[in-house]
Amino acid sequence: MPLKDRLFLGRRLPEVRDPRFSGKLFVIEGADGSGRSTQIAQLTKWLEANGYAVRHMGLRRSNLVSEELEQAKQGNILTHTTLSLFYATDFFDQLVHEIVPALRAGLIVLADRYIYTLIARNLVRGANRAWTYNLYSPAIMPDAVFYFRVGAKQLVERNFQKNSTLDYWESGMDLGLSRDMFDSFVAYQRLLQTEFQRMQKENGFEIINANLKVETIQRELRKKIGAMLNLSQ
């Protein structure tokens, strides 16, 4: 894993004066319905059973703007630049107020999605690559990123099982790829996957085949995370 050769992705975060952390940051990336939350719940149980304190982070969970972001999702009222800056505000608010103190205190932070989802969403909406990477460049570099890969067709099935409908945003309906929600969903998820594949090469993500059984995936995650913590499964 070529990750973690530096603390920040690019530029430094002005709020962090001393860049020495004793905690670890593990990121799970993947589409809705790829099984992220199930795996995170089981990982948490396992880590806590072994005496590790765990903290969670995700998207749209900041004190500062999560409520307003949720409302913005309900009505498509913000333009793309505004929305991506709003998401970045949400992200950095959590990073500064929760993640940095947790890492400093030696906790294990499990992130249910991180900057990579936000970057991919921007890029498939036609955002400038340099602008988008600059935006997130003061983010803390994770110790490992696990990307859950699921075929677009399987994703559809899982989404229907979970919600019985397709989500407007997860279908990328705002992009106007197709007026048919199913077509749009499949096209949008493929675009995101292409971006993730590109990022995987650049950033050295661990690819997890999320079509496998829950237990098989969990075993693999524990093996990899355990090795980084010198912890047996």
Partner 1 sequence: MVSQKRHYSGKLIAVEGLDGSGKSTQIYLVKRWLELEGYRVFFTEWNSSILVRKSTMKGKKRQLLTPTTFSLIHATDFADRYERQILPLLRAGHIVLADRYIFTALARDAVRGVDREWVTELYNFAVHPDITFYFRVPLEISLNRILEGRPALKYHEAGLDMGWSTDPYESFRIFQGKVFAEYEAMREQFGFTCVDATEEIHVQQAKVRQTIREHIDLPAYRRRLCP
Residues that bind partner 1 (CB under 8 A): 11-15, 63-65, 68, 71-72, 77-82, 84-86, 88-89, 92-93, 96-97, 122, 125-128, 130-132, 134-135, 137-138
Residue 29, SS3? strand
Of 90 and 143, which has the nearer Cβ to partner 1? 90
The secondary structure of residue 231, as a DSSP letter, is -
Of 16 and 208, which has the nearer Cβ to partner 1? 16
Helix (H) or strand (E) holding 213: none
Of 36 and 121, which has the nearer Cβ to partner 1? 121
Which pair of tokens denotes residue 188? Answer: 């949008």
**What DSSP assignment string belongs to 72-118?**
HHHTT-S-HHHHHHHHHHHHHHHIIIIIHHHHHTTPEEEEES-HHHH
Which pair of tokens denotes residue 197? Answer: 């594949």
What is the chain's alpha carbon radius of gyration, rounded to the nearest angstrom?
A: 17
Residue 168, SS3? coil
Q: What are residue 144's DSSP bridge partners?
A: 26
Smallest gap, in angstroms, from Cβ of residue 207 to partner 1? 28
CB atoms within 10 A of CB 182: 11
Q: Is residue 186 a contact partner of residue 153, using CB atoms and an 8 Å limit?
A: yes
Of 31 and 88, which has the nearer Cβ to partner 1? 88
Of 63 and 216, which has the nearer Cβ to partner 1? 63
Of 94 and 218, which has the nearer Cβ to partner 1? 94
Of 96 and 212, which has the nearer Cβ to partner 1? 96
> How close are the terminal C-alpha atoms of the chain, in Å?
20
Write down how long the chain is. 233
